[in-house]
Amino acid sequence: MLPFHAQAMGDRQLFSSGSVDVDLTRLGSEIMVEWDGNWWLGSDYNKMVIRSRGEVGRQLHAHQAQLLYSRYISHFWDARIGMRYDQKPLPGWLGVAAVDGLAPYGIETGFSLYLGGKQALTGEIELAWPLQLTQKWVLEPYADISWSGREYIAADAGAGINLINAGLIFRYEFNRHIATYIDVYYATHTGSTRSLKRVAGEDVERGGVKIGLRLFNW
């Protein structure tokens, strides 16, 4: 889920808003809970943004938190800088530089670079295309692509594109604050990361259906 972005109108009033997606899926015999949320405070031109993403089952599998300064740079586009802390799977601090906004045809687009850690430089591209079928129903194809600038054997991560996650969300919005959704997804490791994961005995592909709840515009 990409952070909020808007066309700037002024810089005198302060606003705040938050949203979070929480969903359930089954991975083998384990029920997994994933979340992706963000909250911002500021004006149309300048914002402080907090973002949290993670996955938990019988134990915490992944968690990262970001604290960012966001600056309006163009119609529907923001630039962000800040810090990210990874609690799992590899603890550590990373610098963040990102741009996100609306591309042509209403495609929500995010480009993020992360500097630091053993991989030195990593990045992520997030794309989502919400299609309003009716006032209540939304169809949203999406794709996330992750890459690394350096191989890191300890994390079973190779250089180059290492993970592609794509899916289709079918969402029903009860009102302007609450929605429920079904997410049909497929994720695969690629390149040398795929080989490293296989050698380590880890899954290289994952797919299924998630059932989730979205709280937004709070």
- CATH number, position 97: 2.40.160.40
Give me the amino acid identity at 186. Answer: Y
Question: Which residues constitute the domain of residue 58?
Answer: 15-215
- Asked whether residue 145 is domain-assigned, the answer is yes
- Asked whether residue 32 is domain-assigned, the answer is yes
Residue written as token pair 């592909």: 205
- Which among 82, 106, 107, 110 has a CA at the least distance from the CA of 96? 82
pLDDT by residue (tens digit) across 55-89? 999 999 999 999 999 999 999 999 999 999 999 87
Total structural domains in the chain? Answer: 1
Mean per-residue pLDDT for 7-19?
A: 75
- Asked whether residue 106 is domain-assigned, the answer is yes
Structure tokens given for 45: 């031109």
- Asked whether residue 3 is domain-assigned, the answer is no
Q: Is the pLDDT of residue 198 over 90?
A: no
Strand positions, DSSP E, 174-202: 178-189
pLDDT of residue 153: 65
Q: Which residue has the higher pLDDT, 197 or 46?
A: 46
pLDDT of residue 155: 66
- Asked whether residue 49 is domain-assigned, the answer is yes
Q: Is the pLDDT of residue 200 over 80?
A: no
- Asked whether residue 5 is domain-assigned, the answer is no
- Asked whether residue 30 is domain-assigned, the answer is yes
pLDDT by residue (tens digit) across 150-165? 877 666 677 888 899 9
Q: Is the pLDDT of residue 9 over 70?
A: no
pTM across the whole model: 0.88
Mean per-residue pLDDT for 1-24?
A: 75
CA atoms of 4 and 150, how far apart (whole Å): 31
The secondary structure of residue 2, as a DSSP letter, is P
- Asked whether residue 26 is domain-assigned, the answer is yes
CA atoms of 217 and 42, how far apart (whole Å): 14
Q: Which burial class, exposed, middle or buried, applies to 113 when counting CB atoms under 10 A from its CB (0-12, 13-18, 19+)?
A: middle
- Which among 143, 145, 140 has a CA at the least distance from the CA of 106? 140
Inter-residue contact 170 to 139 (CB < 8 Å): yes
